[in-house]
């Protein structure tokens, strides 16, 4: 038995009462307890007056927009944050810092699947678009993170068209791919229409960071369903005989970056790149990159800690750039 009582009050006070039975066995007698759950309609995604009570869902019918994809479609540039710290609190702090998107790093970050789920939940307190860099081009890992609420996948070490097709296939439901249907947490985040619209909403990026990936760039970019590529500058430099690092202004890695952004833009796809400094990120935007990331949360933490300790030990009286809140 499921009872539903709707109390009609002024909009700002409107409440919906759900009477949820909990059956218990005690002394061989079945007892029914009713638990009252009061939900302000202003907190429900679907609070329209014409919404149908008693439907199989309590959330919006239309799928949540991927505002990052919409930004790219308009030709805009996204500032992306990178999360290496396995903490929902730090993820939430980054989500309130002004980024367009946040990428949880499960390849080189200290983040496992369980921590990633809590971080996705924390990011959901804002309109920032959640993405994940998956540990590898492995279908089950990709699918689980999408089911948990990631709206984009960045996959490392894509070397050829076959690997790119496998990546896209893991991110798309049939017939466009071979993703298995089991949207657990994402149905709460995205809405009831997720299964119908996910193929058009979820972003898929292949990382170009190997010699083979660079040599096969054209065929990778021609993979149906791929939204863009993301340059990993350290691995790309290593693959081309250079040292690890980033912000390359000259040499083989810098030349390769030019090739990647030009070929990607020619196909109307989104080029992305990881950067070590804001200044370099701005120069990459001028070259045509639409998704730029500067360092990661762990680097921000260490950098600010060193700045503060150096200032205090040196007796600095500087007041700029800090927060008035001591906590």
Q: pLDDT of 204-228, one tens digit each?
A: 999 999 999 999 999 999 999 999 9
Q: Are residues 88 and 36 in the same domain?
A: no
Q: Does residue 22 fall inside a structural domain?
A: yes
Give the pLDDT band (50/70/90) at residue 315: confident
Question: pLDDT (tens digit, 9 = 90+) per residue, 7-53?
Answer: 333 333 333 333 333 333 333 333 322 232 333 333 333 333 333 33
Q: Does residue 82 fall inside a structural domain?
A: yes
Percent of the chain residues past pLDDT 70, beyond the cut: 78
Rounded mean pLDDT, 3-10: 36
Backbone angles phi, psi at 215, to 5 degrees: -65, -30
pTM of the model: 0.81
Q: Are residues 214 and 292 in the same domain?
A: yes
SS3 content of the chain, % helix, strand, coil (to 5): 40, 20, 40
Q: Are residues 276 and 134 in the same domain?
A: yes
Domain that holds residue 15: 3-43
- Kindly give the pairing relationship between strand 3-7 and strand 15-26: antiparallel
Helix (H) or strand (E) holding 279: helix 278-287
CATH number at residue 108: 3.20.20.60
Give the pLDDT band (50/70/90) at residue 320: low
The residue ranking higher by pLDDT, 80 or 28, is 80
Alpha-carbon torsion (166, 168, 171, 174), positive or negative: negative
Give the pLDDT band (50/70/90) at residue 287: very high
Q: Note if 178 is an active site residue.
A: no
Question: Which of the following is catalytic: 29, 43, 96, 108?
Answer: 108
Q: Are residues 8 and 141 in the same domain?
A: no
Q: Are residues 35 and 162 in the same domain?
A: no
Residue 143, judged by CB atoms within 10 A of its CB (0-12, 13-18, 19+), counts as buried
pLDDT at 122: 98
Q: Are residues 258 and 170 in the same domain?
A: yes
Q: Are residues 191 and 126 in the same domain?
A: yes
Q: Does residue 16 fall inside a structural domain?
A: yes
Q: Are residues 75 and 32 in the same domain?
A: no
pLDDT at 62: 86
Q: Are residues 37 and 117 in the same domain?
A: no
């Amino acid at each position: 038995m499921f009872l539903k009582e709707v109390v009609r009050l002024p909009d700002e006070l409107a409440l919906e009462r759900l009477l949820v039975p909990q059956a218990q066995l005690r002394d061989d007698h079945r007892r029914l307890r009713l638990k009252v759950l009061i939900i302000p309609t202003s907190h429900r995604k679907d609070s329209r007056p014409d919404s149908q009570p008693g439907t199989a869902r309590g959330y919006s019918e239309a799928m949540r927009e991927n505002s990052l994809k919409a930004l790219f479609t308009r030709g805009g540039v996204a500032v992306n944050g990178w999360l290496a710290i396995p903490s929902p609190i730090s993820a939430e702090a980054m989500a309130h810092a002004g980024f367009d998107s946040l990428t949880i790093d499960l390849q080189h970050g200290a983040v496992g699947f369980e921590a990633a789920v809590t971080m996705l939940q924390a990011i959901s307190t804002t309109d920032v678009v959640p993405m994940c860099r998956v540990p590898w081009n492995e279908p089950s890992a990709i699918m689980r993170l999408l089911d948990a609420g990631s709206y984009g996948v960045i996959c490392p070490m894509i070397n050829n068209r076959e690997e790119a097709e496998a990546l896209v296939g893991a991110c798309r439901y049939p017939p466009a791919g071979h993703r298995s249907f089991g949207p657990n947490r994402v149905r709460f985040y995205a809405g009831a229409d997720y299964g119908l619209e996910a193929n058009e909403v979820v972003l898929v990026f292949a990382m170009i960071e190997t010699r083979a990936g660079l040599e096969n760039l054209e065929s990778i970019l021609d993979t149906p369903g791929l939204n863009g590529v993301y340059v990993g500058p350290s691995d790309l430099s290593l693959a081309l005989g250079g040292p690890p690092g980033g912000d390359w202004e000259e040499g083989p890695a810098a030349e390769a970056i030019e090739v990647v952004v030009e070929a990607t833009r020619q196909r109307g796809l989104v080029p992305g790149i990881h950067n070590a400094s804001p200044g370099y990120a701005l120069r990459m935007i001028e070259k045509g990159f639409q998704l730029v990331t500067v360092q990661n949360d762990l680097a921000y933490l260490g950098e600010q800690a060193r700045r503060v300790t150096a200032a205090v030990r040196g007796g600095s009286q500087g007041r700029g750039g800090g927060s008035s809140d001591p906590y």
